[in-house]
Structure 1
């Protein structure tokens, strides 16, 4: 009988669900990291919320652990790469607390508009400062939505019920999806210019970290109000404090902070700031939903091998897994490659399968492509929810199979259409099962993807490769592999360079400034 440990406070229904499925379960919330490390080796599964930290040390002691289930969306407290290396599946419950978090954002916006917490404290103190709390109406105001996914779209709906106008910035928001939501799709600077209130509903990634900072505040209306129930690192807290002190920002309501638990923060006790201790998912309904979902998912995996909402493992049947495994890696790399280069709203995705791969069950492969494509700007994207996310955003996904064989015995080709351009990426498997990129935007090449890479589009001119190598060498960046291709002599060329360490932004700026460079981006796989 599999054995699961629940190490954080969770609805009793989770324990009951495990037992009904035939899984032995221990409920021990509040353990120290030393206590957890001492006992984790006994368990096949670990069910957690946000308190338990699953570190490499814990994973090293977890000799029998097969699955970690996070009751909630964020897995910041789990070292997912370390879990993957240890062969442990990491699951989450991405949709269990969406309504709760959206409602909390609306509640904070109302409290911010009418200064309710400050007025409450003043009245309890017997001051009766009626003239001291002059609020603003939400009706007719413009709400700027940064992130229009599952939670953001619910916030938009609720805000429209309050007769607010809604503008939204989201790189993956199509014009059609924006129309369905009844929001105006805008660029970020335009949102800053127009919004009376700004609320954030985007994951914390390298692209979104500090998305609101000093430069952002300079573009905003005087008297703007900001709400954040997503992730603390999205806002530069020192810059926000300066903007509040100057009067540029009339108020802020924050449920999340850069460092949590937030026992000290520059914004604490600021008269224009409302703070709550990460309560976005803290309702009875949400706690029950995520507890039930994580127990059901973990029990299914432990008892039957079924995988649902896994962050580091494809959701495929046990029969198909051995045949699909190498193709999953290829599909994920192709999707990730295109996703890291996508900067505008997606309209259409076409995945073509040719040769041997066309004979397989390609639905999981298309899901793997979508997962790779959407992951760079979204957290918690997996093979189960990636197709749902694409559908919600009116991204047209087409899958085509060709029985013919071309230059390769097997080929996967991805075509991505955005509002501004069309990009293609093709890949194949070599004899040893290793994935290779063999075409980018019609340019033929052969490249093995590595953890750290450079993607460069340049004019095909003499001396460019030497200049690129020299610049990297001067910055102490060692080249591991170099792949180059072009369509026509003297015109556009594409190169993929694998390097031994991450490229710093200052080096990327120098690369972009090189003669003949049209575009330079750093990629990671």
Structure 2
């Protein structure tokens, strides 16, 4: 069979190449002709799978996205055409948890905060939001979970949006939707932005259009700017360049870009396609991943916040991604955003590092031997 995949999707040839013809294309510039005589299409978040793209898809029977969100896929159209569909929910939640934890520690250093004294609101209590909440609780933070659709369905332990907006740090983990009672487009709107206290911190690692970027710029250029962490941007790959100097951490939509997360995403589609065509699986995720550069660190006591930040940087240095983003923007190259994503350096998850010692909190994301872990149910 013929498989067309986003060129930025790793391990495609390892998983599909021994039994399918694999062709790769830039995800943002796929055209209808690319799908002629194609049996399966594998994409990431930048490809709009719609009626236009499928105009010449004469043999297509399967579409998969190696992402949690599906707002770029016309799933109703696929269903009408009898085309099987698969996504990868939860595939990059750990990577996003790593990213947000690294951001929290960077914010704490910048503001001279002890995170255990602060409150984090998680907007969107799904796979990724729950992982972020877990990390924050591992840091000793009080966590407010906000998810209006879940609350309407009867879920307990949630706060409303106005309550969430009172937290010291507010982190967004919602899909982008434009209609209905829980639409998330400009969920953070101009009125909310204007009303926030200048000591508050905002983090966006979901979709850029969830925030009104122009309203943020207006706020940041005033006398009481907020502290911002932005991995996603309204109108990507375009970036509101004037906003970037007012952002503490700026990155090119790579929060979920760990090697493990990408492997999980591609493997989820491999598994789904195998099931779709009745083929037995021949590979595993473990077989795809190389050994990490640093595999273990021994500690004599539980790490302080400063030491924890050092341990995180051993695996993932968020400042490196921030400086690379700013350098790329400064070049003026119109494709800098996608170029950074395409050539993103291999990044491992915190779980690739074993922490040996006592009193270690497993919620922080590192791999902790059972006898050393503080268990939290």
- TM-score calculated relative to the size of structure 2: 0.66
| Aligned partner of residue 222 in structure 1, secondary structure | coil
1:63 maps to 58
| Aligned partner of residue 256 in structure 1, secondary structure | coil
| 1:186 equivalent in alignment to 2:159 | yes
Structure 2 CA distance for aligned equivalents of residues 302 and 175 of structure 1: 36
Structure 1 CA distance for aligned equivalents of residues 228 and 254 of structure 2: 16
User: Runs of 5+ in structure 1 lacking a partner?
Assistant: 116-133, 180-184, 305-525
1:24 maps to 20
1:84-115 CA-partner distances (Å, limit 9, x unpaired)? 44332332111211111122122223223334
| Aligned partner of residue 65 in structure 1, secondary structure | coil
1:154 maps to 131
User: Runs of 5+ in structure 2 lacking a partner?
Assistant: 280-377
1:300 maps to 275
| 1:8 equivalent in alignment to 2:4 | no
CA RMSD of aligned residues (A): 2.7
Structure 2 CA distance for aligned equivalents of residues 290 and 232 of structure 1: 21
Give the deviation of 1:233 after TM superposition: 1.3
C-alpha change, 1:236 and 1:78, in structure 2 (3 Å) is same
1:346-403 CA-partner distances (Å, limit 9, x unpaired)? xxxxxxxxxxxxxxxxxxxxxxxxxxxxxxxxxxxxxxxxxxxxxxxxxxxxxxxxxx
Q: How many residues align?
A: 275
1:142-193 CA-partner distances (Å, limit 9, x unpaired)? 11111111111111111111111111221214999655xxxxx322112223
Contact 1:224–1:248, Cα closer than 8 Å, also in 2: no
Contact 1:7–1:30, Cα closer than 8 Å, also in 2: yes
Structure with greater contact order relative to length (CA < 8 Å, sep ≥ 6): 2
1:47 maps to 42
Structure 2 CA distance for aligned equivalents of residues 250 and 7 of structure 1: 36
Give the deviation of 1:40 after TM superposition: 1.5
Within the candidate set 115, 118, 121, 1:141 is matched to 118
C-alpha change, 1:3 and 1:300, in structure 2 (3 Å) is farther
Structure 2 CA distance for aligned equivalents of residues 88 and 32 of structure 1: 21
2:74 maps to 79
| 1:105 equivalent in alignment to 2:100 | yes
Within the candidate set 142, 156, 172, 1:200 is matched to 172
C-alpha change, 1:143 and 1:85, in structure 2 (3 Å) is same
Give the deviation of 1:209 after TM superposition: 1.6
Within the candidate set 238, 241, 251, 2:214 is matched to 238
1:27-85 CA-partner distances (Å, limit 9, x unpaired)? 32337847x43342211111122344434222011011111111111234333344344
- Structure 1 or 2, whichever has the larger Rg, is 1
| Aligned partner of residue 240 in structure 1, secondary structure | helix
Structure 2 CA distance for aligned equivalents of residues 247 and 196 of structure 1: 19
2:146 maps to 169
Structure 1 CA distance for aligned equivalents of residues 265 and 28 of structure 2: 23
1:314 maps to none
Contact 2:27–2:44, Cα closer than 8 Å, also in 1: no
C-alpha change, 1:219 and 1:186, in structure 2 (3 Å) is farther
Contact 1:189–1:219, Cα closer than 8 Å, also in 2: no
Structure 1 CA distance for aligned equivalents of residues 174 and 22 of structure 2: 35
1:382 maps to none
2:263 maps to 288
Contact 1:254–1:274, Cα closer than 8 Å, also in 2: yes
Structure 1 CA distance for aligned equivalents of residues 27 and 138 of structure 2: 44
2:293 maps to none
Within the candidate set 189, 192, 204, 1:213 is matched to 189
Within the candidate set 190, 201, 204, 1:225 is matched to 201
Structure 1 CA distance for aligned equivalents of residues 51 and 256 of structure 2: 27
Structure 2 CA distance for aligned equivalents of residues 138 and 32 of structure 1: 39
Contact 1:217–1:248, Cα closer than 8 Å, also in 2: no
